[in-house]
């Protein structure tokens, strides 16, 4: 049997044809309707000349058109290139040119930026406009058969955010994506067709794509989409659709915890909440579970690992602040700068091996070789391991601050800041210093209506950490910069040099 990831949909259509698959607002599609739209979109792709192995971009928000186009590309044997809808023309040009895309499906509101990239790459631009797109699909000849693909063939190219330079395209295979979705569904979420997922994570991102869309479709569950996260709309959907599984990044959970009217909504249907994307402060876990009476489990992964690598498994002890243990079929180890494995309690770089690790970076053997060591993928994330095999993220290797020769891991300081009752969000970064090399600085957003001085926050941390670790500078700002999934973008935070 073909290993094409597209079967994740067709298998569910056979079992759950009349059940709701995707919902946006009050409008929903059954699995049979979704499959019918996918068949006609596959016909459109065939007409455009897309063949097995061809790359096709998707620049769509969280709307039902995303899974329609996604599974259609896979059905004809193409490779999906998901793209952030906020990309500008210069960036779309890179993504489409680098991947050699044959076509791109872009939301009407972002068509101008997509057009620039399509012209640069010589790709066909399909603008997706509600109403018009349905008419276009109706005129296409449906394609019901699925093109054979091997499990080792590339299914998706996910471009990394490019925090360290030019974005790199992680090649994820059909086996990578299918296995990660099925293990997440069966052993972590323990999802069934009775579940109702809230799709607030961007589907162009690996977390939303695997853990929201592919997991929901694999299990025959309903995916209720939220194109742009706000705490109010999220709570409204949970109440309206009786959502059972919520997936989010820490900033989403922070937003829900701090929403003044949170307890006015009926969220009793929630049985499992999952966090990933960046480190989840322990105080946020406590506050969320107290407010919503729901279990919040933290996992860990990267675009290069499809993405799930480890998780706080629901049937094992959960440790607050831990990213849990490796998922089935995945190995993790911690290595020092020489590549030697370090023992429990020591800090090392997380290295991963298993069915979830990417094939490599698209047409970039040098970048691939720099992170793949004897079959292990070096993540750039620093962590410790306890005696029971639980991993604890310390920080990104590149985020580590070296102050006067001492290593300072921002996450540790951020955890302390989050314990202060006035703090809503915090980011700790290093700033250049003539004497110490780097100085520790904290940029903080206060909760609505709360008051605290920089000196108060500095002293709060100073009382709880070693003298070389506490932030000498605390800057209060109105808002921190966030990426598409809500992750705090430290690279966009600028602080005047200290002395």
What would the pLDDT profile of 74-89 be if each residue is shown by its tens digit?
A: 999 999 999 988 888 8
161 confidence band (pLDDT: 50, 70, 90): low
Neighbour tally for 336: CB within 10 Å: 12
Predicted local distance difference test score (pLDDT) of residue 455: 97
Contact, 314 vs 297, CB < 8 A? yes
Task: Choose among 270, 298, 247, 266: nearest CA to 195.
Answer: 270
pTM: 0.86
Residue 428's CATH number? 3.30.300.30
3-state SS, 263-297, equals HHCCCCCCCEEEECCCCCCHHHHHHHHHHHCCCEE
Q: Which residues pair with 382 in a beta bridge?
A: 349, 395
Q: Per the domain annotation, does 314 fall within a domain?
A: no
The end-to-end CA distance of the chain, in Å, is 65
Tokens of 53: 């192995």
Residues 6+ apart with CB under 8 A from 446: 422, 423, 424, 452, 476
Q: Per the domain annotation, does 380 fall within a domain?
A: no
Residue 43's CATH number? 3.40.50.12780
Domain endpoint, select from 188, 209, 232: 188
Q: Distance between CA atoms of 145 and 10, rounded to whole angstroms?
A: 10
Q: Per the domain annotation, does 319 fall within a domain?
A: no
Contact, 336 vs 343, CB < 8 A? no
Domain endpoint, select from 171, 188, 205: 188
Tokens of 355: 């069915």
Q: Whole domain around residue 479: which residue ranges?
A: 401-492
pLDDT tens digits along 202-242: 999 999 999 999 999 999 999 999 999 999 999 999 999 99
Residues 6+ apart with CB under 8 A from 204: 58, 59, 60, 66, 82, 83, 84, 85, 484
Q: Per the domain annotation, does 175 fall within a domain?
A: yes
pLDDT over 60 (residue 497) = no
Task: Choose among 362, 330, 334: nearest CA to 347.
Answer: 334
Number of domains in the chain: 2
Q: Per the domain annotation, does 269 fall within a domain?
A: no
Q: Per the domain annotation, does 171 fall within a domain?
A: yes
Q: Per the domain annotation, does 52 fall within a domain?
A: yes
Q: Per the domain annotation, does 275 fall within a domain?
A: no
Residues of the chain with pLDDT > 70, as a percent, come to 98
Domain endpoint, select from 157, 173, 188: 188
Local structure of 258: helix, strand or coil: helix
Predicted local distance difference test score (pLDDT) of residue 281: 85
Q: Which residues pair with 431 in a beta bridge?
A: 439
Task: Choose among 14, 11, 15, 6: nearest CA to 42.
Answer: 6
């Amino acid at each position: 049997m073909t290993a094409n990831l597209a079967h994740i949909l067709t298998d569910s259509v056979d079992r759950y044809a009349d059940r709701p698959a995707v919902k946006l607002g009050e409008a929903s599609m059954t699995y049979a309707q979704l499959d019918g739209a996918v068949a006609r979109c596959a016909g459109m792709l065939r007409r455009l000349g897309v063949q097995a192995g061809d790359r096709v971009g998707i620049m769509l928000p969280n709307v039902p058109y995303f899974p329609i186009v996604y599974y259609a590309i896979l059905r004809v044997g193409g490779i999906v290139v998901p793209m952030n809808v906020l990309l500008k023309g210069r960036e779309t040009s890179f993504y489409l040119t680098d991947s050699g895309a044959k076509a791109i499906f872009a939301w009407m509101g972002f068509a101008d930026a997509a057009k620039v990239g399509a012209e640069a790459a010589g790709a066909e631009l399909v603008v997706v406009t509600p109403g018009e797109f349905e008419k276009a699909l109706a005129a296409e000849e449906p394609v019901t058969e699925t093109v054979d693909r091997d499990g080792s063939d590339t299914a998706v190219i996910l471009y990394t955010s490019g925090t360290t330079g030019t974005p790199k395209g992680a090649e994820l295979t059909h086996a990578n994506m299918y296995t990660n979705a099925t293990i997440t569904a069966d052993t972590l979420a323990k999802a069934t067709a009775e579940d109702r997922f809230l799709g607030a994570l961007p589907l162009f991102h690996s977390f939303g794509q695997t853990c929201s869309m592919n997991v929901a479709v694999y299990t025959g569950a309903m995916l209720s989409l939220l194109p742009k996260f706000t705490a109010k709309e999220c709570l409204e959907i949970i109440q309206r659709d009786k959502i059972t599984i919520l997936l989010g990044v820490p900033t989403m959970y922070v937003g829900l915890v701090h929403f003044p009217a949170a307890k006015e909504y009926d969220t009793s249907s929630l049985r499992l909440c999952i966090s990933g994307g960046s480190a989840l402060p322990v105080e946020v876990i406590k506050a969320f579970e107290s407010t919503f009476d729901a279990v919040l489990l933290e996992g860990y992964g990267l675009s290069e690992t499809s993405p799930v690598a480890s998780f706080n498994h629901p049937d094992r002890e959960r440790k607050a602040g831990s990213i849990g243990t490796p998922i089935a079929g995945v190995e993790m180890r911690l290595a020092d700068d020489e590549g030697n494995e370090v023992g429990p309690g020591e800090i090392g770089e997380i290295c991963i091996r298993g069915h979830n690790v990417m094939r490599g970076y698209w047409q970039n053997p040098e970048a691939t070789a720099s992170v793949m060591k004897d079959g292990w993928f070096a993540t750039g994330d620093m962590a410790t391991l306890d005696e029971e095999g639980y991993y604890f993220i310390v920080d990104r290797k590149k985020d580590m601050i070296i102050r006067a020769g001492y290593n300072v891991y921002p996450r540790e300081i951020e955890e302390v800041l989050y314990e202060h009752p006035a703090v809503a969000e915090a980011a700790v970064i290093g700033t250049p210093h003539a004497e110490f090399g780097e100085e520790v600085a904290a940029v903080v957003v206060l909760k609505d209506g709360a008051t605290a001085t920089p000196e108060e926050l500095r002293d709060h941390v100073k009382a709880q950490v070693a003298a070389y670790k506490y932030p000498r500078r605390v800057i209060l700002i109105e808002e921190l910069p966030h990426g598409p999934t809500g992750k705090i973008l430290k690279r966009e935070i600028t602080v005047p040099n200290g002395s």
